[in-house]
Amino acid sequence: MPSLPDLLQFAFSGLTSGAIYALIALGFGVVHNTMGIVNFAQGDFITLGGMMAYTVLHAFGMPMPAALLGSVAGVTLLAMALERVTLRVSRSQNPMILIFLTIGASVALRGGIKLLWGKNPLALPPLGGEEPFTVLGATVMPQALWIFGLTAATVAGLLAFFRLTRAGLAVRAVADNPQAAAVVGLRVGSLKALSFGLAGAVGGLAGVLVTPITTLSFDVGVLLGLKGFAAAILGGFGSFPGAVLGGLALGLLEALAAAFVSSSYKDVMAFGVLLAVLFLRPQGLLGKEEA
């Protein structure tokens, strides 16, 4: 039986990972709410975020905050371009076909990342230094506070964007009825590209935040993307509050599995939760039940 400090250590670690999963789940939700599809390239946006930050940091000698902003902007533009050259030019708007296009785009992105940055693991320094502090006997790294703070700011920013801005309201209109939105003069294609850009920005941010606490390689986004997808399903696919709840819950479940069972089963937990939710409550914790 772990001691209280050990349990707190596992809990802090789980919440830190859960905040990253929440960011990834938010990226899935943005695209799903606008286009009604699952974007399986979301995991590669995470990898690109970390890789671009590494390039800005080492090739251009910029500080870490500038590397974060530069990588988020870069992944945003690339995600918008990806929507333009793959999904928008598709002769069919069948959601299943579009989903397979995102799978193909994911494979292409992963190959491009491997060619540009190689297969060797890379590393990024933390945003807040490396001096830990103690909370009730548990050690907390400053990077964890950056992850919590930027995740909360991202959630608040997305909610404000979709509820308070004209562009956000236009994206919601496209999500509700793209044909009617086009009739009243909204640029449906540009708004869909905007949603992809937002997903890219969130994925790029997740990549920069998670890299200092894990290894960075060309395929690191695969497992993280699947965990974010599991978090989105757990919370309710497309629900922003559900994405946060699902991500934090999944992170805690992984930490508890590592504490009471074995760290070898940590990654299995995500897929076990995914299967259980699909069987028992397919709409997720906060999702709306559909007919």
Residue 138, H or E segment: strand 138-140
Answer for the pair 42, 195: CB distance below 8 angstroms, yes or no: no
Residue 288, pLDDT score: 63
From residue 157, how far is each of 86, 120, 264, 289 by CA, in Å?
28, 35, 36, 27
- The pLDDT value recorded for residue 291 is 38
Nearest-Å Rg of the Cα atoms of the chain is: 19
User: 194 near 167, Cβ under 8 Å?
Assistant: yes
Task: Confirm if 67 and 57 have CB atoms less than 8 A apart.
Answer: yes
Distance CA 126, CA 235 (A): 29
Query: Do 31 and 255 meet the contact criterion of CB atoms below 8 Å apart?
Result: no
Torsion of CA 248, 260, 229, 236, to 10 degrees: -60
Q: How many helices (H) and strands (E) does the chain have?
A: 11, 2
Query: What one-letter code names the amino acid at 21?
Result: Y
Q: What is the pLDDT of residue 253?
A: 86
The rounded distance, in Å, linking the Cα atoms of 158 and 71 is 19
Which H or E run includes 34?
helix 4-35
SS3 label, residue 189: helix
Distance, in Å, from the CA atom of 62 to the CA atom of 201, rounded to the nearest integer, reads 19
> In the chain, what is the straight-line distance between the N-terminal and C-terminal CA atoms, in Å?
45
Classify domain 4-280 by CATH number: 1.10.3470
Closest CA to 16 of 139, 131, 123, 143: 143
3-state SS class at 121: coil
- Segments making up each domain of the chain, as ranges: 4-280
Rounded CA-CA distance 260/263 in Å is 9
CA atoms of 55 and 7, how far apart (whole Å): 37
Token pair belonging to 34: 């606008």
Q: How many other CB atoms are found less than 10 A from the CB of residue 87? A: 23
All residue ranges of the chain with pLDDT < 70 are 1-2, 263, 270, 287-291
Instruction: Show the tokens assigned to 190.
Output: 């540009």
> Which element (helix H / strand E) includes 173?
helix 166-176
Contact call for residues 62 and 70 (beta carbons, < 8 A)? yes
